[in-house]
Amino acid sequence: MFNEMYADLENLNDLMMSFSNAIVIQVAMDEELAPFLAATEQAQPSFTEGVAKFYPRYLMFEEDQVPLLLVRSKIGLVNAASAVTEAINYATNCLGVISAGTAGGLAQHINVGDIVLGSNYLYADADATIFGYERGQIPGMPVSYGDRDSDWEEAIEAALSALKSAQEEGSWAVHQGRMLAGNSFVTEYNVKDTREAFDTALSTDMETTAIAQICSNYDVSFMAVRCISDLCGPAADQEFHLSVDVVAPRSARYALQIAAELWTQQELPALELNLED
């Protein structure tokens, strides 16, 4: 059955061998995928499984290359979870999973164009408090997912240092902390309740927590790198929307830099990235 499902992939065994330790990068939309394709080179033909599309790519540098398995999952918790599960079945010794793309700004100090680096993840619309669980917690599962390990912390520190000049020139902020995901948009109608229930949460989207749960189940490290495209409850003087064509490349820039730094921790040559915002 497995071989029949992938009859259109000529070198499946080669893919699984050469990409066993790849870094998986998930995005939901084609617009979020585009800057990653522009910054990398094809390693194997892309292929489709269900609604998801997979792109084995190389991030090139000097005499070496970083294997990335890009995944365009489509929007939503189930789409993201199933696509990333498939990806880590290919990359059996995956160095880590990054969820990139856009997000909605939830915290009142967040602005459009800002970068949010996730440290832990909850479900925005999970509520089993009647049974004694915390808001955002699925019954029988942890309250949150995705506490970053030392490898991520070192990679993030190096990436932020490398991108500091670009950040200062572009005048966006970088935030680190809690992210939410759910099946419903947070809008002006429910933003007050969401902020009160999750008073430290920075952003909301429709994929990250599901991916964090999958990675927790499979003991794979995870983080999200999202750029804020919209504000859930903007103040009167705040700009509340930026085009995906602006924010997707910024998210990709940070995600690729962090992936590069994570890879170089494996005692490999340093990467030289030339990524434009």
113 in any annotated domain: yes
272 in any annotated domain: no
273 in any annotated domain: no
Give the tokens for residue 145.
């997912």
Number of domains in the chain: 1
219 in any annotated domain: yes
277 in any annotated domain: no
Distance from C-alpha of 250 to C-alpha of 177, rounded to nearest angstrom? 18
- Residue pLDDT, tens place only, 114-165: 999 999 999 999 999 999 999 999 999 999 998 788 889 999 999 999 999 9
User: DSSP label at 113?
Assistant: T
Give catalytic status of residue 32 as yes or no.
Answer: yes
Domain housing 61: 2-264
Among residues 32, 114, 205, 207, the one annotated as catalytic is 32
CATH number for 250 = 3.40.50.1580
Predicted pLDDT at 64 = 63
Give catalytic status of residue 230 as yes or no.
Answer: yes
Q: HSE of 214 in the Cβ direction (CA atoms, 13 Å)?
A: 25
276 in any annotated domain: no
- Are 40 and 58 in contact by the 8 Å Cβ rule? The answer is yes
207 in any annotated domain: yes
Distance from C-alpha of 190 to C-alpha of 127, rounded to nearest angstrom? 14
Among residues 154, 230, 239, 276, the one annotated as catalytic is 230
- Are 121 and 146 in contact by the 8 Å Cβ rule? The answer is yes
269 in any annotated domain: no
- Residue pLDDT, tens place only, 216-243: 999 999 999 999 999 997 765 566 688 9
